[in-house]
Structure formats: C-alpha cells, structure tokens
C-alpha cells in the first residue's frame, strides 16, 4: 500500500523563554536563557535552587477557573499550547471530520504537584483519608489528551505516551504512523510537563541529574561545555498539528514542514545511564534515516538531546559520529536545552518546534554557555556555540532519549 505523506500545519508553544511560538523562536535565535531562582516552592534546603520556570502565564485566560482547578498544571500547559496550535492551523471545526482527528500527547510524569499536595495534606491529618474526588483525574498523565479532545470534539485515537524524556517523540511517531496508514487525517501531538515541584527537584537531585550551579542559574545549562554539571529542569508544553498532506492541501493549510521519518530503539542497558558507546542512540537515528529513506549526508542539522549532563552529552555525539562519519562535522548540531532547560516529557515537543522553525528561518539556534568544549568531545563538531548560525537547511533531525533507555528520533524536511 502507498503510505500517505504527513505534514505539520500548526504550532503552539508555552516555554520558559516564551509563551507563544514567535516569542519562543525569537529568544531561541537570540540565545536567551530561561533559568532563574525557583519561585514555585521554598527551595532553600534543596541542592538545586533554580529551574527554567514559565513566566507570567494566566491560566484563567484560557480555561475557566472552576475547570482549571480540576486539572494539574501539566494539563493547563497542554491546553494553552494546543489553543495556539489549533488556531495556527486554522482548523474549521465545523467542516472537518473530527472523528478522524486524534490526540496523542506525551508526558513523562503527569500531575506530580497534584500528587504531592494531596499526600502532604493527608499526612497532616489523623490518617482518615479525605482525598479530593478530582485527585486522580488531576494526576493521571492521560488527562492532558482527554481534556484536549473534550475541548475540540476530536474523537479519533486518544492516549498519552510515557517514555520519560522521549515521550513526545514517541507521540509524534505514533501519530505519524496512524496518519500514514490512513487511520487519522489529523492529529494533535505534543507534550507537557510541570515537574518543578519539591518531588521533581528533590528526586532529580537525589539521583544527581541536576546542575547545582546555584550562583549562576543562567549559565547552568551548558551542554558540551567542560564545566557542565547536570541538566536544568524546565517546564511547559509544545503542541503540533500533524496532517495528511492531501488533507492539508485540500483545505489550503499553511504547511511548515513534512515529517519524513521516525526512529526508535532501546538501550537495554541501564535505567538511568545511557549506553557508553551510544548504541541505542545510534540504532534509533539509523532507524529514523531508514524510515525516511534518506542518506546520512542529507541531514543538515541535529537538535540533540544534549541535556548538559557529564555522561550523556559525549555519548550522543559518539553515536552521531559512528552513524554520520565525517558528515558529522559538516552539519550543525545544537542543544536548545541550553536555553529552555530540560522539559522532560515535553522536551521532544518544544525541540520539534525549534527544528521546524529553524527550517522556516534557515537559522540554527545556538548552544548557549558553550565556552570551552569538553576535551572528551571531538573539536571538529560544529556545536553552534553561543550564537545562532544562518545556513541553508533542508532536512533536520530532533533527538530524544529517556530514563529507561528509550530513544526516539524524528526527521522533518522542507516540503518539496
């Protein structure tokens, strides 16, 4: 059977460096950091006291207050980003077949704050459970996709993918497959995370994943730099509208890019550490190239997973060199986590948007704070240090890897 072609026709972003796509992109291009002291709780006793929080988001502008209070923040973020994406895609809800529109969302954790608050409240009592009836629905990760479908009446396939920091890329690949196979005409995909909480910061501190550069939050996320000491936790959401090419053209939609391939693999190695030779990353990138039917030399830019951890960063680059050989030094590589922090399950969403906007503007966003490249890293890589680089871009890859050894890669191309 002939597979249908899948394109991106709408984007929405709610990030630590911009509450909409255009602000997000302008700040990516300008190399702005979203990090600052934690305001969501008193972090004075935590090893890490900063994060990339969202700024100035008025939830009630998008969701009526009495509905909003029945949702966790990660669901608020999902609805806000999707509001922008659906408007951007200029979807006429009255004329499209909403039974053929799905929602596949990614979240690594779900409603962490809701879980924390309820259990802390319970622990203060005498042991009698007085659990709020909305507790479970606030907390469970699939609330986000459920709420999106209810808001728009999208009655197609609906679920949430959970593969830690690879979650959104898995969501994108699943939707890609359903649309290619003709099972859906459109799908809202994306991811959201709201884990800047006591359990989130404390938990990632406990496994030594976070930067502890408290004296310099904006310089803390520094992928590939000698002084990097862990990732900076971020929060927010990204939402994309994927659509069958013919369907998009028939309704005269603006097409940002074509999604041409998705690749997946597992490290089958360790629950937090990546494979030392980057085997899983290699297999997933190879799988993505095969799926797209393109040669390694066709990739112009990789938006890497690059979280700024001592172990993770060099292994991803090793895998890139293994697969791309000397072309590794011709392409651009950057980690936009240097600016947004690490949005966990939503990382793939905001980075897919960064990759697509890079194609649109023919501009590679930088890896900020990359002052001295780690000696362990081959100096021939163009890691797009400090400032954005203009170059012709046709095909871009976006990488995401998650605790558990999950790897998921997507490839976008300018529509030809």
* Of 137 and 411, CB closest to other proteins: 137
Least Cβ distance, residue 151 to other proteins (angstroms): 17
Least Cβ distance, residue 65 to other proteins (angstroms): 6
* Of 64 and 392, CB closest to other proteins: 64
Query: Annotated catalytic residue: which of 76, 247, 342, 406?
Result: 342
Show the tokens assigned to 117.
Answer: 């608050």
Show the tokens assigned to 215.
Answer: 């004296």
3-state helix, strand, coil in the chain (%, to 5): 35, 20, 40
Least Cβ distance, residue 66 to other proteins (angstroms): 3
Least Cβ distance, residue 69 to other proteins (angstroms): 8
Least Cβ distance, residue 135 to other proteins (angstroms): 10
* Of 66 and 95, CB closest to other proteins: 66
- Give one word for 362, left, alpha or beta, with left for phi > 0 and alpha for psi -120 to 50: left
Is residue 104 within 8 A of residue 147, CB to CB? The reply is no
Show the tokens assigned to 368.
Answer: 């900020």
Q: Is residue 342 among the annotated active site residues?
A: yes
Query: Annotated catalytic residue: which of 76, 247, 305, 406?
Result: 305
Q: Is residue 305 among the annotated active site residues?
A: yes
Contacts with other proteins by CB under 8 A lie at 64-67, 130, 132-134, 137
Residue (of 374, 358, 392) closest to 26 by Cα position: 358
Measured CA to CA, the distance from residue 129 to residue 111 in angstroms comes to 20
Query: Annotated catalytic residue: which of 76, 165, 247, 275?
Result: 165
Q: Is residue 76 among the annotated active site residues?
A: no
Q: Give exposure, 277-298, as e/b (b: 16+ Cβ within 10 Å).
A: ebbbbbbbbbbbbebbebebeb
Dmax (CA) of the chain = 66
* Of 4 and 70, CB closest to other proteins: 70
* Of 62 and 231, CB closest to other proteins: 62
Please tell me whether residue 211 adopts helix, strand or coil conformation: coil
The residues annotated with a catalytic role in the active site are 165, 305, 342
């Amino acid at each position: 059977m002939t597979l249908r072609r899948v394109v991106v026709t709408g984007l929405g972003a709610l990030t630590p460096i911009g509450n909409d796509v255009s602000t997000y992109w302008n700040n990516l291009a300008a190399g702005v950091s979203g990090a600052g002291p934690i305001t969501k709780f008193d972090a004075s006793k935590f090893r890490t006291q900063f994060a990339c929080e969202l700024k100035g988001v008025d939830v009630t502008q998008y969701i009526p207050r009495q509905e909003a209070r029945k949702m966790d923040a990660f669901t608020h973020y999902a609805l806000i980003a999707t509001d922008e994406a659906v408007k951007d895609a200029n979807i006429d809800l009255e004329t499209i077949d909403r039974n053929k529109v799905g929602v596949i969302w990614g979240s690594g954790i779900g409603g962490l704050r809701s879980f924390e608050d309820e259990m802390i409240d319970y622990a203060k009592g005498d042991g009698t459970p007085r659990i709020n009836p909305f507790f479970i629905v606030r907390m469970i990760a699939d609330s986000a996709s459920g709420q999106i479908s209810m808001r728009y009446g999208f009655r197609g396939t609906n679920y949430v993918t959970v593969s830690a920091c690879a979650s959104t890329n898995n969501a994108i690949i699943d939707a890609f497959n359903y649309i290619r196979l003709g099972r859906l005409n459109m799908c809202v995909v994306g991811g959201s995370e709201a884990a800047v909480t006591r359990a989130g910061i404390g938990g990632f501190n406990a496994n030594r994943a976070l930067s502890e550069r408290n004296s310099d939050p904006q310089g803390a996320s520094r992928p590939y730099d000698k002084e990097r000491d862990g990732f900076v936790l971020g929060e927010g959401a990204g939402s994309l509208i994927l659509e069958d090419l013919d369907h998009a053209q028939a309704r005269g939609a603006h097409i940002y890019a074509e999604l041409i391939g998705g690749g997946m693999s597992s490290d089958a190695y360790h629950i937090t550490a990546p494979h030392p030779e980057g085997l899983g990353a290699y297999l997933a990138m190879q799988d993505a190239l095969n799926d797209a039917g393109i040669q390694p030399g066709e990739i112009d830019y990789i938006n890497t997973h690059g979280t700024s951890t001592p172990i993770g960063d060099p292994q991803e680059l090793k895998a890139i060199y293994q697969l791309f050989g000397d072309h590794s030094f011709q392409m651009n590589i950057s980690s936009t986590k240097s600016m947004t922090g690490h949005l966990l399950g939503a990382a793939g969403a905001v980075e897919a948007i960064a990759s697509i906007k890079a194609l649109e503007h023919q501009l590679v966003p930088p890896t900020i704070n990359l002052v001295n490249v780690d000696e362990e890293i081959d100096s021939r890589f163009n890691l797009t240090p400090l400032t954005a680089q203009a170059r012709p871009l046709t095909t871009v890859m976006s990488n995401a890897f998650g605790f558990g050894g999950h790897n998921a890669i997507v490839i976008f191309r300018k529509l030809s």
